[in-house]
Structure 1
Amino acid sequence: MKESMLDVPGARLRHFVRGSGPLLVLIAGGPGDASMNEALASHLEDRYTVLTYDRRGLSGSTTDEPEVTPATHADDLSHLLSAHTSEPAHVFGSSLGGLISLELAVRHPEQVGVVIAHEAPVTRLLPEPERVAAIQDFLGAEEVFQAEGVMAGLRRSATFLDIDPTDREPDVEPAAWGPDMLRNAEFLLTYDTPAIRAHVLDLAELKGSPARVVPAAGESSRHIWPHKCARLLAEELGTTCEMLPGGHNGYAFRPRATAERIHQVLTERSRQSVAS
């Protein structure tokens, strides 16, 4: 595995590349940095060149402009891709990572092959009053964070996302919350979460994108609204919502099974594209 830094407008991005084969980018959700995808990457590197990274403001990446948006993150990822390939790359993103992957397909479609967007919080797809309730979930987490601190804000988020650390593969241990992760969570709740609330995905542009966008959701998360967002996005795009193992954080808690499903979906969707 090779660790590198890349200067992009307003930030420096720490990223890691391992394996061989077609380029596949993994984008973590929430406060997750590259380490959140470590286990998933280890199960994919025998078939793909896997790129993981710390989003600007997290862990080893810096930012001069903390007021970020999903579009900012998508542009950052575009610079990373340009530094590593001239060919379209596959992308897997979960939660905020899924939203970033959708923005990449809108803003830089020529750089993207298959995009798997797992439970991206596209709240505008939800009917009233579910959309209002989803926005209130984010606001509630931000308010608790401001009043009671970062761990309380995270617990509030984990409640509405129903994060279940017991729903995991036997050899997976939940990540310890060290200083980096706490700083990452503070950045998330200060800057990224309000940006998610305000974000409006351009569905018309997404439908017109040549990228092959695949909405995905967790097998264990049918009762939470991000799962419904994925199903509604699939309906909008006229495609199938693929089921992945586990719940909202299945990529971290069930990395072995998730890697197999990612490979299966990428293989199937790539063949469909060739056939058409």
Structure 2
Amino acid sequence: MHDTRTQTLQVPGARLHYEVGGSGPTLLLIPGGPADAGALAALATGLRDRYTVVSYDQRGFSRSALTGPPRAQDVATFADDARRLIAALGDEPAYVFGNSGGALTGLDLAARHPGHVRALVAHEPPAPELLPDRAHWRATFQGVHDTYVSEGAGAAMHQFVATIEGDNDTIAPMPDFSQLPPEAMEMMGRIQGNLDHFLNHVLLPVLRFEPDTAALRTGPVPVTVGIGTTSPAVGVPLRSALALAERLGIEPVRFPGDHQGPATDAVACAELVHDAFARVKDVERR
């Protein structure tokens, strides 16, 4: 059992809430929006016996309050926050795991601030700008935002969940959060409070981000791209991850479950994350 401590870090325009627990090299977990650190709580638990695990809420979500007026939040801003958090934790680079939008943060962090990242696992980063039908997805997600403006968060999220899976007629079921730790149940309530900020200020800037694959391919940070075994083949997250892996010239690693696998299949996913970082350690020892 590893105790965790909660701290805050002041960054330009926000105060980041983060949690630290475990022992060993630092591992930063980055959740995607509109979720927060609670989405990766079970994954953190499975890794604290081998790492000092740091999980946090990205700015504007849940307990990481903005200290200025709300505005568009892009991936570069989220990555700068992650860089500042890693620097505040010590002088060494960190292992980084990101899921969904958090994986986009990790990719930008590794591309622009490689000295802060020892290795990165990016699980299903939704990057429609890497896809050949990017113009279609720009218009589609603009439609989600327009629905938010005209009909509110509930209707927009209904549309978004269907759209991100690539089929507006079929909405993938939400994971059974009752099987997760109590913290995850509390997170569901926090997510509801995050929807307006996500739809109004985060959705479009984040989904119009294109990872710098040239910098990632030639840079010093080892990148592992994760894909969900049961993720819909037509969905934006899986298609984006496959496109990213192809551009980086690497084979993606199959994780159990779908886009939410790190939450719903945390034990198995923790081992895969550790295996990816262990391979980096083996190379460093040679």
TM-score normalised according to structure 2 size = 0.88
3-state SS of paired residue (2:259): coil
2:203 corresponds to 1:193: yes
2:105 corresponds to 1:95: no
2:192 corresponds to 1:182: yes
**CA distance in 1: counterparts of 2:163 and 2:103, whole angstroms:** 18
Matching residue within 28, 43, 51 for 1:48: 51
Contact 1:165 1:253 in 2 (8 A): no
3-state SS of paired residue (1:62): coil
Partner of 1:62: 65
1:6-44 deviation line (CA, Å, top 9, x unaligned): 111121111100111111111111211111211111111
Change in CA separation of 1:196 and 1:170 when aligned onto 2, cut-off 3 Å: closer
Partner of 1:237: 248
Matching residue within 199, 214, 233 for 2:224: 214
Contact 1:137 1:157 in 2 (8 A): no
Partner of 1:121: 126
**CA distance in 2: counterparts of 1:209 and 1:94, whole angstroms:** 21
Q: Which range moves more in the overlay, 200-209 or 95-104?
A: 200-209
Letter in 2 for 1:247: D
Letter in 2 for 1:242: V
Letter in 2 for 1:138: F
Partner of 1:151: 154
Structure 2 residues without counterparts, runs of 5 or longer: 166-171
How far did residue 178 of structure 1 move? 5.5
Q: Which range moves more in the overlay, 30-39 or 49-58?
A: 30-39
Contact 2:227 2:253 in 1 (8 A): yes
**CA distance in 2: counterparts of 1:9 and 1:176, whole angstroms:** 28
How far did residue 169 of structure 1 move? 9.2
Change in CA separation of 1:98 and 1:75 when aligned onto 2, cut-off 3 Å: same
Contact 1:112 1:211 in 2 (8 A): yes
How far did residue 202 of structure 1 move? 2.2
**CA distance in 1: counterparts of 2:42 and 2:17, whole angstroms:** 18
Letter in 2 for 1:228: R
1:166-181 map, 5 Å:
166=175, 171-172=179-180, 175=185, 180-181=190-191
Change in CA separation of 1:154 and 1:273 when aligned onto 2, cut-off 3 Å: farther
Change in CA separation of 1:79 and 1:198 when aligned onto 2, cut-off 3 Å: same
1:165-189 deviation line (CA, Å, top 9, x unaligned): 35x6993377467653222121111
1:124-182 deviation line (CA, Å, top 9, x unaligned): 2211xx3233323422321222222212222222213344335x699337746765322
* Cα root mean square deviation, aligned: 2.1
**CA distance in 1: counterparts of 2:48 and 2:12, whole angstroms:** 29
Change in CA separation of 1:227 and 1:19 when aligned onto 2, cut-off 3 Å: same
